[in-house]
Amino acid sequence: MPEKSSSMDIVREELYKYTESDIDVKEGRLFTYLYDPDMKSLKEANDIFVEFLNRNGMDYHAFPSTLRIENDIVAMVGSLLHGDSNIAGNFTTGGTESILLAVKSARDMFFSEKGNNRTPEMIVPVTAHPAFRKAAEYLGIKVIRVHVDEDSFRSIPDKIEKAITENTAIIVTSAPNFPFGVIDPIDEIGAIAEKHKIWLHVDACVGGMILPFLSMAGVEVRKWDFMVPGVTSISLDLHKYGFTPKGSSVILYRNHDFRRYQLYVNANWPGYPMSNVGIQSTKSAAPMAASWAVMNSLGITGYLELARKTLAAKEKIVNGLLKLGYHIVGSPETTVFAFSSSETDIFRIGTELKKKGWFLQVQPGSEADHMPSSLHLNISPIHARVADEFLDDLKEITPRVKFEKDSGRSNYDLLNIIQSAKNGHIDIEDVLKEADKYGKNRQELLYEIIRHVPPEIVETAFMDMVNNDFRPSDGS
């Protein structure tokens, strides 16, 4: 703590100095983290965010506006996803909270029906978001991973059915999965869930706010929402293709009986009876008010237009990639996808694109799970403006990187590092030093290691790294 007070101007200036090494990419050059609608008018939602910052949704009796806003949002999203009048749901801080709540509800229903002396199980395709394993670890659930089809990267209904036991509390599917943008066969899995009377969750965190509009735009999208009778709950992020400020997501249930398992009430303390719908108690109305504003401002026509623009940008980029000899992983029906190459080092392509100011998500993949290494893109409306420039840069980079590989210049002795890592422990600092020794890009070497080394060893190394990063500085 500083000894003396300072003016906000001085403090602000200090704070902004911290941002000097944040990624700073020009408009449209980011293909991850940000969903940019390329619409100036939506920026006004940021003012609404600030105006509602200190209204507290924890007590919606004191702030009835927050209840109304939240119910409106659930109704809007519910109608898009073919929910009927029984639909129930809540506004949450993000996909992770939505997923955590759905898993908790499924677990508690399982306990109430089967007794709580068993360990509930969750069936999860390997392509599902890490938030599911996280929820399982938090909530004491056993994870049953199931492999997906190695061409389409969709989960396999048969494999899911075979994984069912008397302890299965929840089956997870994605619409689409994040890495490859591929939608699981939810209609078939829904029939299995109904037959065995098991909770089926659809993770539509990334797809939920664009799939309905892609359908309206004429794209053939197989059934994935509440139209499938077996679907119990759906998670959907507004802060992705809903184009709302960060910290906004929705968890939906087919009806109120399922949602009841999500709620928390405690009257056993000296204060007033505490009731929370989600993880938060104090709950700023800012994200929900800004979301309400964006959704009501765009309406169906606005979202449809943005979806069309996004789709056009995606098609242009995909066609360009195919012309350059890349292949698209699986067959994504959405505006999220990954590409790879059998002829060029995809990690090097990622590095070279970064040098030109393009930011894509590198996906190391996994040797053990037969998952390819790839570069991942979330397409936003803004990319319609930069697609040509992106493809031109890639056209220049691709033969250059391919030549490097052909001439053996990017070959290096990975074997030792990987071998020693496979035997137990890796230290990320050591890996980075090793990269320098071989004249290899540090990041690329790290991706290679992640791809080849058992995930548990990578997890331990990252745990150490994060634990080390998050500590108060010594003032240096």
Ligand X SMILES: *Cc1c(COP(=O)(O)O)cnc(C)c1O
Q: What character string, x for contact with ligand X (CB under 6 A) and - otherwise, covers 192-211?
A: -----------x-xx-----
| Site size with ligand X, rule: CB under 6 A | 12
Q: Does 168 bind ligand X (CB under 6 A)?
A: no
Task: Pick the stretch among 93-101, 160-168, 326-334, 467-475 that binds ligand X (CB under 6 A).
Answer: 93-101
Residues 295-354 that bind ligand X (CB under 6 A): none
* CA atoms of 456 and 444, how far apart (whole Å): 20
Q: Which is nearer to ligand X, 118 or 134 (CB)?
A: 134
The backbone torsions φ and ψ at residue 113, rounded to the nearest 5 degrees and listed phi first, read -90, -35
Nearest-CB residue for ligand X: 95
The backbone torsions φ and ψ at residue 209, rounded to the nearest 5 degrees and listed phi first, read -100, 5
Task: Pick the stretch among 18-26, 94-102, 118-126, 326-334 that binds ligand X (CB under 6 A).
Answer: 94-102
Q: Which is nearer to ligand X, 93 or 344 (CB)?
A: 93
Q: What character string, x for contact with ligand X (CB under 6 A) and - otherwise, covers 350-379?
A: ------------------------------
Q: Which is nearer to ligand X, 157 or 247 (CB)?
A: 247
**Structure-block tokens of residue 87:** 């639909």
* CA atoms of 218 and 211, how far apart (whole Å): 11
Q: Which is nearer to ligand X, 200 or 445 (CB)?
A: 200
Query: Looking at 178, 213, 226, 347, which residue binds ligand X (CB under 6 A)?
Result: 178
Query: Looking at 95, 181, 302, 364, which residue binds ligand X (CB under 6 A)?
Result: 95
Residues 232-291 that bind ligand X (CB under 6 A): 237, 249
* CA atoms of 210 and 240, how far apart (whole Å): 9
* CA atoms of 168 and 88, how far apart (whole Å): 24
Least distance from C-beta 7 to ligand X, angstroms?
36
Q: b or e along 256-291 (b: 16 or more beta carbons within 10 Å of the residue's beta carbon)?
A: eebbebbeeeeeeeeeeeeebbbeeeebbbbbbbbb
Least distance from C-beta 43 to ligand X, angstroms?
21
Least distance from C-beta 117 to ligand X, angstroms?
31
Taking a C-beta distance cutoff of 8 angstroms, is the pair 31, 374 a contact? no
Residues 113-142 that bind ligand X (CB under 6 A): 129, 131
Least distance from C-beta 206 to ligand X, angstroms?
3
Taking a C-beta distance cutoff of 8 angstroms, is the pair 335, 321 a contact? no
Instruction: For 179-237, give the DSSP string.
Output: TT-PPP-HHHHHHHHHHHT-EEEEE-TTTTTTHHHHHHTT------STTSTT--EEEEE
Least distance from C-beta 176 to ligand X, angstroms?
7
Q: Which is nearer to ligand X, 438 or 462 (CB)?
A: 462
Q: Which is nearer to ligand X, 307 or 435 (CB)?
A: 307
Q: Which is nearer to ligand X, 131 or 377 (CB)?
A: 131
Give the Cβ contact number of residue 389 at 10 Å: 14
Tokens 């320098």 belong to 436
Task: Pick the stretch among 48-56, 89-97, 137-145, 461-469 that binds ligand X (CB under 6 A).
Answer: 89-97
Least distance from C-beta 81 to ligand X, angstroms?
15
Least distance from C-beta 216 to ligand X, angstroms?
21
Taking a C-beta distance cutoff of 8 angstroms, is the pair 141, 122 a contact? yes
Which residues lie closer than 8 Å to 464 by C-beta, 6 or more apart?
427, 428
Taking a C-beta distance cutoff of 8 angstroms, is the pair 277, 253 a contact? no
Taking a C-beta distance cutoff of 8 angstroms, is the pair 219, 333 a contact? yes
Taking a C-beta distance cutoff of 8 angstroms, is the pair 121, 136 a contact? no
Q: Does 96 bind ligand X (CB under 6 A)?
A: yes
Site residues for ligand X per CB under 6 A? 94-96, 129, 131, 174, 178, 203, 205-206, 237, 249
